């Protein structure tokens, strides 16, 4: 124990020192070990009402971006294989521009077929006309012969039998002419029918090409050349081509029916896309849908049954180079009619 | 004179160490048990404290704690957002689910769905990986204590595949979180994905987490939210207290720990009281002699007080350091994850020690003060 002073007493001096040191260490341990329960700001910006709306009456809603024409699912008039696809997603098309073509081989052969029938009918007409001309000349020859015989007064000069033969020839020639005329009109009718068939085949050919119903942007192309399209598609199956007018874009905001009476219709809304709350824009009011509908799930859950009904409000987005895209979810804040909450006004009414 | 008292005290080694041991033991018992008690019931609030950024929790009127909740329709979020004074509000889903691990075991988990865009609702820190992993498909983040329960032998959970409600889930991160009261495995994922992982009911959203605007007190905001939406709103501290109260009301923990703390106190009183009065009785002659040479009762009181003070200081110090060593030693054990010593607890045990010493000292002094100086001759 050379390290310690001579009269060092462990119990009197050592232990108290140990105890005090222990207490100091304990105090430090306790102080540093206290849990960190400080509130902190969220790392990423959540959507928030800004500007005048920040501390005034407002209604919030979630919505989706849609084309101002709403999304058009382009269908096909004819079933068949896709042979030609003329557009890509993102293309801007004008009204009437071809989008895709279904297989036209059968229709083209029908065009050719009915074209041949037209030629055939034309030939038959010519044939009938030639027959008419031949019958006419035979008829006139027979007529002249008969007239000649009739002018002869001497009964002995011309035998009775000769006259009868000439009369017969004349009437046979007349009948041949009538028959040929009937054939001509039949051939003409065949021609008209064949021409009509050509016309209908041409129309089919036109129907095989699907054209843009409006000017707008192609949003989705779900078909590829070689795929078979059925006209009965629709309902729950995927649409072939989706398009819509994306200049400008609209948003459809769902507002809970309980909050719906508070919405100040006509006022612009503050809108931000999911995940980019700091990129807020002001959207101008377009209209409120006349019907209150069951809330469509925006949560990707397949089998959500909801009895919550919502008022759908349509707002027009300003030009926003790519911040908003069709189908994107947005958070919106809309000014409320007056500063009163439903509860507050109820309480006031009770008074 | 006080130094004489100290020498008198340490002169009898056995009794001195007996006294120190008595105080140290009851301090240890009281401090350690109170610490564990406080930490255990605060597990009821861990769900609230794990979310570092929410000022206010909004829930259905009948919801009680983070785990005892009744889901709301999804438009409740918009209702809360419409309340003036709400800076932001995000959805929060908490629900139980069963998970099948890759080796076929079944494990009950609680699934927490955090806001898709902002990830508000995740714990403050990550133990492994970053919160960005939630952007990859089917990914979940597991809590660190859950990892030890679900994966034995220190196997890394990263990349493990689970099956939740017939859906694939891949663990891509480990969160540093305080476990819940039941230490259930917790899986954090995005709200929209959590909807798929939890078997569906009509309403799914358990909570709306809201932040108060600058200059608006959370208490005032809860009132505004309750008035305007008809939902129940609690501030963070209120809701944490709700969780603690729930455990106090529904378990026997307070009674159990209360009994242990009382036992600590009684053991302290018994050991210290007995030893102290024995010690004083043995030294009655010395006190008599002191009285005979004219030492006043007041001086004697001071002497006994200094003896008690020294014993108290040493015993208390050793007891507290014992608790600290205990908590420190077990800090790496998942069962004690997040345990800390609340600063009030050592003060409570200090008061208890003071009470023990006052009581026993008073008992012992009664004899001394009555002592005649003549006692020295007996």
Residue of chain A with shortest Cα separation from B229:
A343
Per-residue pLDDT band for B131 (boundaries 50, 70, 90) equals confident
For residue B102, give both structure tokens. 């890759």
Q: Which chain B residue has the Cα nearest residue A345? A: B228
Domain shared by A277 and A292, yes or no = yes
Q: Would residue A44 count as lying in a domain?
A: no
Res. A100 pLDDT band, cuts 50 70 90: very high
**B318 at the A interface (CB within 8 A)?**
yes
For residues B97 and B161, membership in a common domain is answered with: yes
pLDDT at A13: 78
b/e burial code for range A272-303 (CB count within 10 A of at least 16 → b):
bbbbbbeebbebebeebeeeeeebeeebebee
Are B318 and A22 inside 8 Å of each other by CB? yes
Out of A195, A229, A263, pick the residue that ends a domain. Answer: A229
pLDDT tens-place string over residues B182-198: 888 999 999 988 988 88
Query: Minimal Cα–Cα distance from A218 to chain B, Å?
Result: 28
Contacts of B190 (CB under 8 A, 6+ apart): B113, B114, B115, B116, B119, B134
Out of A16, A55, A301, closest to residue B84 by CB: A55
pLDDT at A109 over 90: yes
Indicate whether A181 belongs to any domain: yes
Q: Which of B10, B84, B321 sits opposite A58 (nearest CB)?
A: B84
Q: Are residues B19 and B166 in the same domain?
A: no
State which residue of chain A sits closest to B122, comparing Cα positions.
Answer: A42
Distances (CA, A) of A246 to A216, A321, A329, B179: 6, 12, 16, 49
| A29 assigned to some structural domain | no
Residue A85, φ and ψ in degrees, nearest 5: -115, 120
> Is there a contact between A74 and A99 (Cβ–Cβ < 8 Å)?
yes
- Rounded Cα–Cα distance for residues A80 and A83 (Å): 9
List, for residues B80-104, the tens digit of each pLDDT value. 988 888 889 999 999 988 888 777 7
**What does the mean pLDDT of chain A come to?**
84
Residue A235, domain member (yes or no): no
Task: Tell me the pLDDT tens digit for each residue of B1-28.
Answer: 778 888 888 888 888 888 888 889 888 9
Judged by a CB distance cut-off of 8 A, whether residue B323 touches chain A is yes
Query: Is B241 part of a structural domain of the chain?
Result: no
The answer to whether residues A201 and A281 belong to one domain is: no
Whether residue A344 is predicted with pLDDT greater than 60 in this model: the reply is no
Q: What is the pLDDT of residues B235-283, one digit of tens each?
A: 999 999 999 999 999 988 889 888 988 888 888 888 888 888 888 878 8
With contact defined as beta carbons under 8 Å apart, do B327 and B33 qualify? no
* The pLDDT value given to residue A119: 93
pLDDT tens-digit series, residues B277-311: 888 878 877 888 888 888 888 888 888 888 888 88
Which of A176, A207, A238 is where one domain is finished? A207
Interchain proximity A331–B81, CB inside 8 Å: yes
Contact B78 A31 (CB under 8 A): no
Q: Which of A29, A61, A303 sits opposite B78 (nearest CB)?
A: A61
Is A303 within 8 Å of B81 when comparing Cβ atoms?
Answer: no
Partner residue opposite B78 with nearest CB, options A20, A26, A62 = A62
Query: Do both B77 and B205 map to the same domain?
Result: yes
DSSP characters for B237-269?
HHHHHHHHHHHHHHSSHHHHHHHHHHHHHHHHH
Q: What percent of chain B has pLDDT over 90?
A: 25
Query: Which region among A46-60, B168-182, B291-305, B313-327 has the lowest average model confidence (pLDDT)?
Result: A46-60
Instruction: Write out chain A residues lying below 8 Å of B118, CB-based.
Output: 42-46, 275, 277
By the 8 A CB rule, do B241 and B45 touch?
Answer: yes
> Do B211 and B78 lie in a common domain?
yes
Q: Does residue B239 belong to any structural domain of this protein?
A: no
Q: Do B180 and B290 share a domain, yes or no?
A: no
- Residue B141's φ and ψ, nearest 5 degrees, are -115, 130
Question: Are B340 and A55 inside 8 Å of each other by CB?
Answer: no
Q: Which residue has the tokens 């101002």?
A: A68
> Which CATH number covers residue A258?
2.40.30.170
Taking an 8 Å cut-off on Cβ atoms, the answer to whether A300 and B195 are in contact is yes
| CA-based nearest residue to B129, from B156, B163, B99 | B156
Averaged pLDDT for residues B114-126: 89
Residue B200, pLDDT > 80, answer no
| Nearest-5° Cα angle at B224, B223 to B229 | 105
B212 and B320 housed in the same domain: no
Pair B164, B83 in one domain: yes
| B160 within domain boundaries | yes
For residue B251, is the peptide bond before it cis, meaning its omega torsion is within 30 degrees of 0?
no
Instruction: Write b or e for each residue in B279-304: b if 16 or more Cβ atoms lie within 10 A of its Cβ, otherwise e.
Output: bbeebbebbbebbeeebeeeebeebb
Nearest to A11 among B10, B313, B342 (CB): B10
pLDDT at position A307 = 65
Whether the CB of B335 is below 8 Å from some CB of chain A: the reply is no
Interchain contact, B213 vs A55, CB within 8 Å: yes
At A128-160, the pLDDT tens digits run 999 999 989 988 988 888 888 888 878 778 788
Residue at which a domain ends, from B173, B195, B230: B230
Do the domain assignments include residue A297? yes
Which residues on A lie below 8 Å from B124 (Cβ)? 36, 40
From B195's Cα to the closest Cα of chain A, the distance in A is: 6
CA angle B344, B350, B355 (to 5 degrees): 130
For residue A236, tell me if it sits in a domain.
Answer: no
Contact A258 B79 (CB under 8 A): yes
In this complex, the residue of B88, B204, B228 whose CB is nearest that of residue A46 is B88
**ipTM of the complex model:** 0.79
pLDDT range class, residue A300, cuts 50, 70, 90: very low
Same domain flag for A128 and A176: yes
A302 band by pLDDT with thresholds 50, 70 and 90: very low
Question: Could you give the count of Cα atoms lying within 13 Å of B242 in the half-sphere of its Cβ?
Answer: 21
Provide, rounded to the nearest whole percent, the portion of chain A with pLDDT above 90. 35
Looking at the structure, tell me whether residues A175 and A323 fall in a common domain: no
Structure tokens at B69: 């909740």
In chain A, the percentage of residues whose pLDDT exceeds 70 is 89
Please report the residues numbered 37 through 96 in chain B whose beta carbons come closer than 8 angstroms to any beta carbon of chain A. 49, 52-53, 55, 73-75, 77-85, 87-90
Residue A39 forms part of a structural domain: no
Q: pLDDT digits over A203-259, tens only? A: 999 999 999 999 999 999 999 999 888 877 555 577 889 999 988 899 999 888 888
A35 vs B340: CB contact, 8 Å cut-off? yes
Contact A19 B117 (CB under 8 A): no
In this complex, is the C-beta atom of B227 within 8 Å of any C-beta atom belonging to chain A? yes
A15·B314 Cβ contact <8 A:
yes
By CA distance, what is A49's nearest residue in B? B87
Closest residue to A60, CB basis, from B74, B81, B343: B81
My answer on whether B225 and B289 are in the same domain is no
CA distance to partner chain B, nearest, from residue A342 (Å): 7
Q: How far apart are CA A59 and CA B31, in angstroms?
A: 52
Q: Report the pLDDT averaged over residues A30-51.
A: 81
B367 has a pLDDT exceeding 90: no
Domain interval for residue A331: 51-68+246-345
Judge if A183 and A326 occupy the same domain: no
The pLDDT value given to residue A87? 94
User: Is there a single domain that holds both residue A82 and residue A217?
Assistant: yes
* Domain that residue B110 falls in: 73-230
With respect to residue B236, please indicate whether it lies within any of the assigned structural domains.
no
Q: Do B78 and A259 count as a contact with CB atoms less than 8 A apart?
A: yes
Q: Identify whether residues B79 and B171 lie together within a single domain.
A: yes
Task: Mark whether A224 and A176 lie in a shared domain.
Answer: no
Residue A31 maps to a domain: no
CA pair distance B28, A43, nearest whole angstrom: 42
Does residue B295 belong to any structural domain of this protein? yes
Gap from B75 CA to chain A (nearest CA, Å): 6
Query: How far is the alpha carbon of A220 from chain B, nearest alpha carbon, in Å?
Result: 23
Domain of residue A96, CATH code: 2.40.50.100
Q: What dihedral do alpha carbons B193, B195, B199, B203 form, nearest 10°? A: 180
Pick from B159, B50, B181, B58: nearest CA to B112? B50
Structure tokens at A48: 């928030």
Examine the pLDDT at A1 and tell me if it is beyond 50.
no
In a domain? residue B16: yes
Phi and psi at A110, nearest 5°, equal: -70, -35
B339 and B369 inside one domain: yes
Residues A79 and A225 in one domain: yes
Interface subset of B 271-300, CB within 8 angstroms of A: none
- Whether A301 and B195 lie within 8 Å, measured CB to CB: yes
**Confidence grade of residue A306 (pLDDT, cut at 50, 70, 90):** low
> What mean pLDDT is predicted for residues A248-277?
87
Q: A150 with A57, same domain?
A: no
The count of structural domains within chain B is: 2
Does residue B86 share a domain with residue B225? yes
Helix axes A15-33, B297-329, angle to 10 degrees: 50
Nearest CA in chain B to A11: B10
Domain count, chain A: 3
Greater confidence (B132 vs A344) lies with B132
Is the residue at B63 inside a domain?
A: no
Contact flag A55-B85 (C-beta cutoff 8 Å)? yes
B17 and B94 both lie in a single domain = no
Q: Where are the beta strands (DSSP E) in chain A?
A: 58-67, 72-74, 80-85, 92-93, 98-102, 209-211, 216-221, 228-229, 241-244, 249-256, 269-273, 281-294, 309-316, 329-335
- pLDDT category of residue A3 using cuts at 50, 70 and 90: low
In a domain, B51, yes or no: no
Q: Which residues of B touch A259 (CB under 8 A)?
A: 75, 78-79, 82
Contact call for B79 and A259, based on CB within 8 A: yes
The reply to whether B320 touches chain A by the CB within 8 Å rule is yes
Per-residue pLDDT at B113 exceeds 80: yes
pLDDT score of A133: 92
Question: Testing the interface with B: which of A45, A54, A60, A308 to mutate, by most B Cβ within 10 A?
Answer: A60
Mean of all residue pLDDT scores within chain B: 87
Q: Is the pLDDT of residue B372 over 80?
A: no
């Amino acid at each position: 124990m050379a390290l310690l002073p001579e009269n060092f007493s462990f119990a009197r001096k050592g232990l108290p020192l140990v105890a005090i040191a222990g207490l100091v260490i304990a105090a430090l341990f306790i102080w540093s070990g206290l849990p960190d329960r400080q509130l902190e700001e969220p790392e990423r910006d959540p959507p928030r009402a800004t500007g005048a709306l920040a501390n005034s009456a407002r209604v919030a809603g979630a919505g989706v971006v849609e084309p101002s024409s709403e999304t058009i699912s382009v269908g096909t008039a004819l079933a068949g294989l896709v042979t030609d696809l003329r557009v890509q997603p993102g293309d801007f098309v004008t009204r009437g521009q071809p989008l895709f073509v279904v297989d036209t081989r059968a229709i083209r052969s029908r065009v050719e077929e009915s074209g041949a029938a037209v030629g055939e009918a034309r030939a038959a007409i010519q044939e009938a006309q030639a027959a008419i001309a031949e019958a006419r000349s035979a008829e006139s020859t027979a007529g002249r012969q008969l007239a000649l015989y009739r002018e002869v007064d001497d009964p002995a000069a011309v035998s009775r039998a000769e006259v009868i033969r000439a009369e017969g020839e004349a009437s046979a020639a007349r009948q041949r002419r009538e028959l040929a005329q009937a054939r001509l009109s039949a051939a003409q009718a065949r021609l008209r029918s064949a021409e009509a068939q050509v016309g209908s085949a041409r129309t089919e050919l036109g129907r095989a090409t699907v054209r843009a119903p409006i000017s707008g942007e192609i949003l989705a192309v779900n078909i590829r050349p070689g795929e078979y399209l059925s006209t009965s598609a629709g309902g729950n199956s995927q649409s072939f081509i989706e398009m819509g007018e994306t200049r400008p874009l609209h948003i459809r905001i769902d507002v809970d029916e309980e909050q719906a009476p508070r919405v100040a219709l006509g006022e612009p809304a503050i809108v931000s896309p999911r995940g980019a709350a700091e990129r807020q824009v002001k959207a101008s009011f377009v209209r409120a849908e006349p019907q209150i509908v069951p809330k469509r799930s925006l949560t990707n859950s397949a089998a959500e049954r909801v009895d919550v009904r919502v008022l759908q409000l349509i707002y027009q987005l300003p030009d926003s180079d790519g911040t908003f895209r069709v189908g994107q979810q947005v958070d919106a804040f809309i000014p409320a009619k007056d500063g009163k909450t439903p509860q507050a006004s109820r309480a006031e009414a009770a008074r | 004179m006080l130094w004489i008292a100290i020498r008198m005290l340490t002169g009898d080694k056995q009794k001195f160490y007996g006294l120190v041991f008595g105080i140290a033991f009851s301090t240890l018992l009281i401090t350690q048990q109170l610490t564990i008690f406080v930490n255990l019931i605060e597990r009821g609030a861990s769900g609230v404290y794990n979310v570092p950024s929410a000022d206010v929790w909004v829930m259905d009127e009948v919801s009680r704690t983070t785990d005892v909740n009744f889901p709301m329709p999804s438009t409740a979020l918009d209702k809360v957002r419409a309340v003036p004074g709400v800076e932001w509000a995000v959805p929060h889903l908490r629900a139980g689910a069963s998970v099948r691990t890759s080796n076929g075991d079944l494990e009950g988990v609680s699934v927490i769905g955090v806001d898709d865009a902002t990830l508000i609702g995740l714990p403050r820190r990550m133990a492994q990986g970053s919160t960005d992993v939630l952007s990859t498909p089917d990914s979940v983040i597991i809590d660190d204590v859950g990892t030890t329960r679900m994966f034995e032998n220190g196997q890394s959970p990263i990349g493990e595949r689970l099956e939740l409600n017939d859906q694939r889930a891949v663990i891509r991160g480990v969160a540093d979180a305080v476990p819940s009261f039941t230490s259930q495995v917790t899986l954090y994922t995005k709200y929209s994905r959590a909807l798929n992982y939890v078997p569906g009911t009509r309403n799914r959203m358990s909570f709306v987490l809201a932040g108060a605007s600058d200059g608006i007190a959370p208490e005032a905001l809860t009132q505004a939210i309750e008035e305007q939406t008809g939902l129940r709103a609690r501030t963070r501290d209120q809701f944490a207290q709700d969780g603690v109260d729930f455990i106090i009301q529904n378990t026997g923990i307070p009674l159990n720990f209360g009994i242990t703390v009382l036992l600590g106190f009684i053991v302290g009183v018994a050991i210290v009281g007995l030893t102290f009065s024995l010690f004083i009785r043995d030294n009655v002659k010395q006190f008599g002699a002191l009285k005979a040479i004219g030492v006043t009762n007041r001086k004697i009181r001071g002497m006994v007080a200094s003896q008690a003070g020294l014993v108290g200081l040493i015993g208390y110090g050793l007891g507290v350091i014992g608790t600290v060593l205990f908590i420190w030693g077990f800090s790496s054990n998942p069962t004690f994850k997040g345990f800390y010593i609340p600063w009030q607890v050592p003060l409570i045990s200090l008061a208890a020690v003071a009470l023990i010493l006052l009581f026993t000292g008073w008992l012992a002094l009664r004899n001394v003060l009555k002592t005649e100086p003549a006692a020295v001759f007996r």
